[in-house]
Amino acid sequence: MSLDITVIQESDEALGLRLDGTVDSDTAPELEAKLGEMVHESISYLGLNMSGVSFISSAGLRIVFKMLKLMKSRDGQLMVTEMNPGVEKVFEVVKLMPDLSVFGNSEEMDEYLASLQKAEDS
């Protein structure tokens, strides 16, 4: 299966992507290249809407972990929204979940990002 990557939010400090399809050894290089191209030095908040992801392999998890490590090094966050139960279970099994910010939907993540931006403007 393929992977579609759509930009759903972009600013100087934040990037939101929607992923649709599978994140496996065939599609992980495409995701890694896209993230490498889009996650420039000022990005410290990365959101991944995974409602359309039906499967994630270890290759996909490696990229998520790499982005998590990068965001933490920038004192930022990797946020994941709308994982289906099967994908969420994979994250729980590999113990990534405690380090991720997981939101039930995009609106919750947007409210959180808005509150961060208001706090920085104050």
In this predicted model, what pLDDT tens digit does every residue of 69-83 receive, in sequence order?
Answer: 999 999 999 999 999
Considering the entire predicted model, what is its pTM?
0.80
Average pLDDT over the chain reads: 85
From the options 3.50.50.60, 3.30.750.24, 3.90.1150.10, 1.25.40.20, give the CATH code of 3-121. 3.30.750.24
Q: Which of 32-46, 63-77, 79-93, 94-108 is least confident?
A: 94-108
Q: What contacts 24+ positions apart, CB below 8 Å, involve 28-33?
A: 28/57, 28/59, 28/60, 28/62, 28/63, 30/3, 30/5, 31/3, 31/5, 31/60, 31/63, 32/63, 32/66
